[in-house]
Amino acid sequence: MRELVDAATDCIVAGLDTPSLRVLAGAEPTESQFVIEPLVAATLDELGLSSLMTELPERGALKAMLRRFLDGRLSTRELSSWAHRVIGHDGPGDCRPFVLLDDVYDDWESAGFDLDTLTTQATAEAQAFLDGLPSPRKIGS
């Protein structure tokens, strides 16, 4: 939930302002999803962006995290850990490569991988996902 609170704060700093956005920006990063998710929905509605909720929330959140990863604001390990924690193995199939990346990180040395290769593979996977292209299916192979 920290990412959503941070994003709301960034929006306020950028000049966006709605009542629910202010509440969201002031929320505790450890707040329950049952408190945060309605605030996100209300904020999107107030900003006229309700249509964004037609996409699975996990997929939309992953897109935001992938942009942060590609911009260098998030490490490969942070991305994979987040994906495993938030999306999980039961999440949308096209999100799974990033979840599986966390599993690969757990034993990358014994599996014969190097971190630069994993980052290169994750970057290709992230770009394909954001471009709407099929997965290159290279992570951990």
Instruction: For 107-140, write each residue's pLDDT tens digit.
Output: 776 677 788 888 999 999 999 999 998 888 766 5
pLDDT, residue 137, reads: 72
Number of domains in the chain: 2
Examine the pLDDT at 54 and tell me if it is beyond 80. no
pLDDT, residue 126, reads: 95
The answer to whether position 139 is within a domain reads no
pLDDT, residue 79, reads: 95
The answer to whether position 101 is within a domain reads yes
pLDDT, residue 26, reads: 93
Q: Same domain, yes or no, for 65 and 12?
A: no
**Rounded distance between C-alpha atoms, residue 30 and residue 1, angstroms:** 7
Q: Same domain, yes or no, for 67 and 113?
A: yes
Examine the pLDDT at 58 and tell me if it is beyond 90. no
- Which domain, by its residues, includes 70? 57-131
**Rounded distance between C-alpha atoms, residue 59 and residue 75, angstroms:** 19
DSSP-derived secondary structure letter, 45: H
**What angle (nearest 5°) sits at the alpha carbon of residue 119, between those of residues 118 and 124?**
100
**Rounded distance between C-alpha atoms, residue 86 and residue 92, angstroms:** 11
Q: pTM for the full model?
A: 0.62
- Mean pLDDT, the chain, whole residue set: 86
Q: Same domain, yes or no, for 48 and 78?
A: no
Q: Same domain, yes or no, for 87 and 116?
A: yes
